């Protein structure tokens, strides 16, 4: 559902001297922005599963990991179709 924004006021910029604008531009260009990204543990686990090697999948399947077993079965079925 989309709702409208209330209480939004747009103000007109006030004229400033050229010298002040030049100084402001210089200080803005020197400002650095640092963003921090945090990945949840669920996203990290999904990334690890998506990027693991075939050998890791085989090892996990041998230890009873059902997801790894399904992946190996899917890969084996795909190889049978190709032949």
Domain boundaries, the chain: 55-83
pTM over 0.85: no
Kindly indicate the confidence band of residue 22, based on its pLDDT and cuts at 50, 70 and 90: low
Mean residue pLDDT of the chain comes to 78
Kindly indicate the confidence band of residue 25, based on its pLDDT and cuts at 50, 70 and 90: low
- Per residue, the 3-state secondary structure of the chain, as one string, reads CCCCCCCCCCCCCCCCCHHHHHHHHHHHHCCCCCCCCCCCHHHHHHHHHHHCCHHHHHHHHHCCCHHHHHHHHHHHHHHHHHC
pLDDT tens per residue, range 45-65:
999 888 999 999 999 999 999
**pLDDT for position 82:** 82
């Amino acid at each position: 559902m989309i709702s409208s924004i209330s209480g939004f006021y747009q103000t007109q910029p006030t004229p400033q001297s050229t010298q002040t604008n030049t100084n402001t531009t210089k200080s803005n260009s020197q400002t650095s922005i640092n963003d921090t990204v945090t990945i949840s543990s669920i996203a990290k686990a999904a990334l690890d599963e998506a990027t693991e090697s075939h050998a890791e999948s085989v090892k996990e399947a041998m230890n009873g990991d059902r997801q790894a077993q399904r992946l190996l079965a899917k890969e084996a079925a795909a190889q049978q179709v190709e032949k």
